[in-house]
Structure 1
């Protein structure tokens, strides 16, 4: 999803005319950081996953812990080398996005501040793309109000499938664990349904092409409604996992619509 989003946003930032090599470099920086964060999360949680999610790569034996550890080191090293090919501002933003993801894995995941790295990573990710592609515009700072809501929603949706197991086995105290499954689920639906309305409200404050957020924001709301209907029909484990996947899709629709409205 992140790889596809990077390419799509690259075309949005350059209005459909990206430099192929620059976009490829930007994509590689993003994917190295994204993969390093994901693998480090699996490495840190390997003992927890052995009990709750034994089919994940490390507990299942597909990847050894040592291999995962060294892959993280290699990916981070490649990303750091690529920093030297970027504008200074873009390199700093990429560093902030990756560092916040690692901070989440190592320190903040099971705390009430677990949403903070999501907010930092998401907001700096977008600014990084535009900076790396030499398309930065101060108007992009209007991303922050909806980004604040969307990142809290994504953080809650990501934790939703594991709330019960995390509470029972690991005594986790993240925001979703404090809210519980029912309130977390409702909070996700409200956040992803209301954020497009916030974006529409912001069109009265800053000049944008609102047709993009109207169309894609509506798509995001439709995804939320589909999520609610499917949740009522599916067994609970499948429904919780589906909520996470559809939350990602709804976030992508709203974020892409608001970015396009600001950029095109």
Structure 2
């Protein structure tokens, strides 16, 4: 395989989100009490799942990206073909299935439900009013994937599931925001596209702040309430300033949510 093709595949997998989600879930898994073998299996399952989702997205969007002349996309730039990216997506998905089930049938099926929801988004739901649903499912099942792999197969706390789902909703809004104009030009009319850039920019920090409140309520730890106060202050400041500030506020609040989940990984079943 040519170096250019490998580089194209690396860019087409959406490396930023892929790496971020993999590191986040791996850290939460380690904090929850999984042993080294279990943590490595979770990391491998999450990585292959995220790779499959990213490659599926770029393969499915190849025609629209070409129509919009999005040269930042490796398929449009000629670094790799849509067929190669599509084959890589299916290969990663094939690896993801046994790696997910290695944590147990319940944990594995929970993760595969999230991966399936993400593929549904890539293959059509992104252009509908239900575009938010795959993100909420995909993130919402992650605490279950972690806890159902623990001894005794405990279910996650409700606040962990709902908090993660709200984190996914915020991720959806933040992910779509920069591309709304191009999406509308190529016929993609999901929920954020119908709201428009201004409304999405103002809305994006709010589900993340709600996630912070839920997680703070759930863990009730010494660091949780100060974290909520900081998240609220950042959100208010971002909405007050307008422009790009709400988006930047969303990144800060999402970071707070992730830190809270990691440092309270052992409480996810409480």
Q: Give the TM-score band, short-chain normalised.
A: 0.7 to 0.9
User: Do the aligned partners of residues 128 and 194 (structure 1) sit closer, same or farther apart at CA in structure 2, a change above 3 Å counting?
Assistant: closer
* Contact 1:213/1:260 (<8 A) preserved: no
Q: 1:250 aligns with which of 248, 253, 260?
A: 253
For 1:71 and 1:88, how far apart are their aligned partners in 2? 25
Q: 2:198 aligns with which of 182, 198, 201?
A: 182
SS at match of 1:191: helix
Q: Map 1:1-264; keep pairs closer than 5 Å.
A: 1-14=20-33, 18-50=34-66, 51-134=68-151, 136-138=153-155, 140-167=157-184, 169-200=185-216, 202-203=217-218, 208-218=219-229, 220-221=231-232, 224=235, 232=243, 239=244, 243=247, 247-248=250-251, 250-258=253-261, 260-261=263-264, 263-264=266-267
TM-score, normalising length: structure 2: 0.79
Q: Determine which structure has the larger helix proportion and give its number.
A: 1
CA apart distance, 1:137: 3.9
* Contact 1:216/1:256 (<8 A) preserved: no
Unaligned runs of 5+ in 2: 1-19
Aligned residues: 247
User: Do the aligned partners of residues 137 and 39 (structure 1) sit closer, same or farther apart at CA in structure 2, a change above 3 Å counting?
Assistant: same
TM-score, normalising length: structure 1: 0.81
Task: Please give the root-mean-square deviation of Cα atoms over the aligned residues, in Å.
Answer: 2.8
CA apart distance, 1:70: 1.1
User: Do the aligned partners of residues 11 and 262 (structure 1) sit closer, same or farther apart at CA in structure 2, a change above 3 Å counting?
Assistant: closer
User: Do the aligned partners of residues 138 and 3 (structure 1) sit closer, same or farther apart at CA in structure 2, a change above 3 Å counting?
Assistant: closer
